[in-house]
Amino acid sequence: MTGYISKIEPWHKSVVYQIYPKSFLDTTGNGTGDLRGIIRKLDYLQHLGVDYLWLTPVYPSPQHDNGYDVADYCAIEPAYGNMDDFEELVQEAESRGMGIMLDMVFNHTSTEHIWFQKALEGDPKYLDYYIFRDPVEGKEPTNWQSKFGGNAWEFVPSLGQYYLHLFDVTQADLNWENPEVQEEIYRAANFWLDKGVRGFRLDVINLISKPDQLENDYVGDGRRFYTDGPRIHEFLKELNRNTFGQHEKIITVGEMSSTTLENCIRYSNPEERELSMTFNFHHLKVDYPGGEKWKLAPPDFQSLKKLFNSWQTGMTEKGGWNALFWCNHDQPRVVSRLGDDTGENRLLSAKMFATLIHLMRGTPYIYQGEELGMTNAGFSHIEQYRDVESLNHYQQLLDQGLSENEAMAILAERSRDNARTPIQWDNSPHAGFTEGKPWLEVADNYQEINARQALEDENSILNYYRDLIRLRKEYDIIAAGNYIPLEDHHNSAIFAYRREYRSQNLMVICNLTGSPAKTSIEWGPGYHLLINNYHQLPHNDGMPELRPWESLALLELI
C-alpha cells in the first residue's frame, strides 16, 4: 500500500472558502448580504489565498430555511441581486484565480416551487416528482422524524395524501425514482456549468435514494432506510456522467449525513466517477451525549482522535478523499465550541485547530469569519434567533419540561445562528456589514474581532490561515502524503500525526487543552519547523512540553 496521490488534481492543493451570502456584506442597506457585497470583497479573499468560493444557495426562495428551500433552480434570489451580478461575480473571481462553487439542493424543493404547486393542483406528472403516500390507518404513512423536529409527513387535505419532508414542512423531498426528475436535475446543473461555475456542493446528497417500500422504524427516526440509500451510487454516477463529468476540472463535494467510511470511499474514489470528495459529520458529534444534539456535554477528545485517525487512514488506504472542516453555516464556531474564545487563548486555540485540520489529507474548507476567529453569537433572548431548526427545537425543549433558561443555554451552544451572524469587517456600527438593520444581530465583540484589525496585526488568526494555505501549495507532502496516526500513550491531551510522502516526513503535534502538556513524541535534529502558533519551538530536551493550545508542524529534511 502506498496510498500516495499519484496525480495531483487541482483540489488536492486547493482551499475552499464558504460564503453565506445573507451574512457576508450588504451593499443596499436592506440588512441582507448580496452578490455585489461578495464582488466587493474579492480582493480580501484573493489576499487570503483561497481557490474556490462556495456560495450557499442564492436561488429564489421563500427563505424558510435561508435558501435551502429552493423555489427555482435556475435564477437568482432578487434580495441577492440578479443574473448580471452573478455573471460578473464569476468573471471577477476568475480574474483573481478563484472559481465559484454553487450549492445544489437536490434532495428537496421549496413547496413554493412550481413543480410542487402543480402537484398540489393534482397534476399527475408533478405528483410523481415528489413522494406522496396514502394515509395508513388514518395516520402518517410511517413514523419517520423530520430532521427539524416532528413527523416527516405532512397531510394535504385536498389530495387526501401525505408528502415526505425530511427537513422543514416547506421542503418537500423529490422522487429520484422518476427519470423525469433526474432529467430536471441535470438541466439545472448544466445551466450553471454553462455559466462558468467550477464546482458544486451537493446538499444532503446521500439522502436522495429512498427504498421502494417505506416502513416504520422501531429503533430510530427512519434515517437507516434512506441514508446512503439503495440506488445512491447509481444516481451519483448518472449525475456525474450527465453533468459535471463532461467538463474538465470541476470540483464536487457531497454533504453526507450520518454516512459511513465505506460509502464515502466509494463516493470519492476517482475510479468510481461519482464525486471529488465528501463531508461527513462524525467528528462534530463528539459533544453530543448519546448522539443527541439538543443536550450539552463537553467534547470527548479521545473519540475525536479515533474518528479522525480511522477516517484519515481509511481514506488513504482505499483512495478516497475527505473535505476537511470544523465550521459551516450549520455548526457553532470552533473556537467557542472546542477551544477557548477568551483573550489570548482565542488566538492560540483558533490557530491550533486550524493547523490540526489544514495539514491533514483532504481539501480544507474555511467558513466565513473562521479566519478571523469569530465566536458564537452570544444571544440571550429567543427573539434574537432566526433559524427554523433552533426555533422548532426550542419549543420542543420547553414541551419536554425544560425551563426557558435551560433551553436558551442549549441554543447558545448549539444553534446554527452561532455561525450565521454577519461578518465582522470593522469596528463601525453593525461591524461594517450593513448600513441598515442586519437580518440577524452582529455578535457584540466586533470592536475587537474584525477583519480590519486582523489585516493590520501580523500575529492575527487571518495571517496564520494565509500561511497554512501557502504551505499546502508549497509542499506536495501536504496534498499528496499518507496519513499515519502518532500515539502519545503518555498524554491524552496530545493529538499528533505524521504525513509521509516519497520518504519525506511531516509531523503535526497539537495540545488540545489550555494547560501545558508534555509529550512522548519526539523529533530529531533532522526536523525543521514549518509553522507554530507560538514564536519559537518548545524546549526539546528529554520530553518536550507543549504550551497551552500549542500546535507545531515539523518537516524532516532529506
Catalytic sites, residue numbers: 203, 255
User: Contact between 295 and ligand TEU (CB under 6 A)?
Assistant: no
Cell numbers standing for residue 297: 456535554
Considering only residues 491 to 530 of the shown chain, the ones binding ligand TEU according to CB under 6 A are none
> What is the C-alpha to C-alpha distance for residues 150 and 166, in angstroms, rounded to an integer?
10
- CB of 366 or CB of 507, closer to ligand TEU: 366
User: To which H or E segment does residue 390 belong?
Assistant: helix 388-399
Residue 259 exposure: Cα atoms within 13 Å on the Cβ side = 27
* Residue with Cβ nearer ligand TEU (148 or 464): 148
**Running DSSP on this structure, what letter comes out for residue 48?**
H
Q: How far apart are the first and last CA of the chain?
A: 22
Q: Which helix (H) or strand (E) holds 556?
A: strand 551-556
Which residue lies nearer to ligand TEU by CB, 69 or 274? 69
By CB under 6 A, name the one of 55, 105, 250, 397 that touches ligand TEU: 105
Convert 24-52 to b/e letters by CB count within 10 Å (16 or more is b). Answer: bbbbbeebbbbbbbbbebbeebeebbbbb
Residues of this chain, 310-339, that bind ligand TEU according to CB under 6 A: 329-330
> Taking each helix axis from N to C terminus, what angle separates 388-399 and 404-414, rounded to the nearest 10 degrees?
150
Query: How far out from the chain centre does Cα 384 lie?
Result: 23
Q: How many residues bind ligand TEU (CB under 6 A)?
A: 13
173 binds ligand TEU (CB under 6 A): no
**In the complex, least distance from residue 402 CB atom to ligand TEU, rounded to whole angstroms:** 18
Cβ at position 168, least distance to ligand TEU in Å? 8
Q: Is 204 one of the binding residues for ligand TEU (CB under 6 A)?
A: yes
Alpha carbon separation from 513 to 207, 240, 486 (Å, rounded) = 36, 43, 18
Which of 4/281 has CB closer to ligand TEU?
281
494 near 519, Cβ under 8 Å?
yes
Q: Pick one of 111, 240, 257, 376: the residue that binds ligand TEU (CB under 6 A).
A: 257
3-state secondary structure of 81: coil
* Closer Cβ to ligand TEU, 227 or 355, answer by number: 227
What single string gives the DSSP state of each residue in 134-198? --BTTB-SS-PBPTTSSBSEEEETTTTEEEE-SS-TTEEEB-TTSHHHHHHHHHHHHHHHHTT--
**Shortest Å, Cβ 254 to ligand TEU:** 11
According to the binding rule CB under 6 A, does residue 287 interact with ligand TEU?
Answer: no
At residue 133's C-alpha, the angle toward residues 131 and 136, to 5°, is 145
Listed in sequence order, the DSSP H helices in 293-387 are 301-318, 334-337, 343-358
Q: Is 293 in the site for ligand TEU (CB under 6 A)?
A: yes
Is 77 or 389 the residue whose CB approaches ligand TEU more closely?
Answer: 389
Is 365 near ligand TEU (CB under 6 A)? Answer: no
The 367-396 contact track toward ligand TEU, x by CB under 6 A, reads ----------------------x-------
Give the residue among 336, 237, 332 at the shortest CA–CA distance from 281: 332
Q: What are the grid coordinates assigned to 18, written together? A: 464558504
Choose between 439 and 464: whose C-beta lies nearer to ligand TEU.
439
Contact 502, 312 (CB under 8 A): no
Q: State the minimum distance, in angstroms, from the CB of residue 10 to ligand TEU.
A: 24
Closest distance to ligand TEU from the beta carbon of 419 (Å): 10
Could you give the CA distance from residue 56 to residue 69 in angstroms, rounded to a whole number? 12
Least separation, in Å, of the C-beta of 417 and ligand TEU? 12
Minimal distance in Å, beta carbon 160 to ligand TEU?
Answer: 27
Q: In terms of CB distance, is 22 or 147 closer to ligand TEU? A: 147
State the cell numbers at 420: 450565521
d(CA 531, CA 550): 11
User: Rule CB under 6 A: is residue 68 a binding residue for ligand TEU?
Assistant: yes
Q: Does 65 bind ligand TEU (CB under 6 A)?
A: yes
203 in contact with ligand TEU (CB under 6 A): yes
Closest separation in Å from C-beta 291 to ligand TEU: 11
- Closest to ligand TEU by CB, 65 vs 154, is 65
Task: Give the helix/strand (H/E) hosting 451.
Answer: helix 451-456
Residue found by looking up cell 456600527 in the block: 429
The rounded distance, in Å, linking the Cα atoms of 11 and 170 is: 35
| By CB under 6 A, residue 243 contacts ligand TEU | no
DSSP letter at 342?
Answer: S
Query: Per CB under 6 A, does 228 bind ligand TEU?
Result: no
We find the least distance from the C-beta atom of residue 44 to ligand TEU, in angstroms, to be 24
Spell out the residues 6+ positions from residue 385 whose beta carbon is closer than 8 angstroms to its own. Answer: 379, 391, 394, 411, 415, 417
Nearest-CB residue for ligand TEU? 68
Question: CB-wise, 51 or 203, nearer to ligand TEU?
Answer: 203
Q: What is the residue type of 311? A: W
CB of 326 to ligand TEU, least distance (A): 14
Under the rule (CB under 6 A), what is the footprint of ligand TEU?
65, 68, 105, 147, 167, 203-204, 255, 257, 293, 329-330, 389
